[in-house]
Amino acid sequence: MIRRFLFERVSWIFMFLLLQALALLLTYVDPTIPMTSVFYYIFLSLLIFIVFLVVRYHQETVFYQQLKERDNDLDLTSVPEASRPFEEIIESAMTEQIESLKQKASEHQMLLEQEKDELLSWIHEVKTPMTAIHLIIDRIDDPKIKSQLTYEWLRIHLLLDQQLHQKRMPF
């Protein structure tokens, strides 16, 4: 995370170093400015800048660290609380996306339940004629035809039962 933080701010760090180099250049060009004073200034400003970077790292990366560590689920409580304007933009976008995904999941679940109910209804509608066919098969006297028809009827009946039980299972 430190590497990413520094890489994100490389232009600011470069600007700071450029200003320090400018101070050294001015000292080199103007002999009236004492070199030791400029080195002292550069040392102090570098020290302050490093402290500034450390403090800012700890302040600015808390939100992103929490984002990185959160579970990838649709729980809005797992989205970290934003404390800065850019973090608020990210939090808002994530909240909107999670709400949208929840709504879509709910719609898909409803459609799936509706399709399941329609299929179960269709299976029960088909079972009624299947029962009538079974009664007709029972009245057939020819054992060969009766055996063949019973075999085919049983295949259809078992496939319908299989679908019925599969659709009743929770996902």
pLDDT string in tens for the chain (171-residue length): 889 999 999 999 999 999 999 999 999 999 899 999 999 999 999 999 999 999 999 998 888 888 888 877 777 777 778 888 888 898 899 889 989 999 999 999 999 989 988 988 888 899 889 999 999 999 999 999 999 999 999 999 999 888 888 877 665
Say if 100 falls within a structural domain: no
Q: Are 141 and 97 in contact (CB under 8 A)?
A: no
- Cα–Cα distance, 108 to 74 (Å, whole number): 15
Whether residue 15 is contained in a domain is answered as yes
| Rounded alpha-carbon distances, angstroms, from residue 20 to 5, 35, 56, 71 | 22, 13, 21, 44
**Residue 58 sits in which domain range?**
1-69
Q: Among positive and negative, which fits the CA dihedral 159, 165, 166, 167?
A: positive
Q: Which of 58, 55, 45 is nearest to 19 (CA)?
A: 45
pLDDT for 170 equals 64
* Count: domains in the chain: 1
pLDDT for position 50 = 96
3-state helix, strand, coil in the chain (%, to 5): 85, 0, 15
Is there a domain that residue 61 lies in? yes
Q: How far apart are the first and last CA of the chain?
A: 39
pTM score: 0.62
Q: Is 88 helix (H, G, I), strand (E, B) or coil?
A: helix
Residue 39 lies in a domain: yes
Q: What is the pLDDT of residue 107?
A: 96
pLDDT for 71 equals 78
Q: What is the pLDDT of residue 124?
A: 86
Q: Is residue 42 part of a domain?
A: yes
Residue 143 lies in a domain: no
Q: Is residue 18 part of a domain?
A: yes
Q: Is residue 24 part of a domain?
A: yes
**Cβ neighbourhood burial of 63 (10 Å; 0-12, 13-18, 19+):** buried
Closest to 21 measured CA to CA, from 41, 51, 1: 41
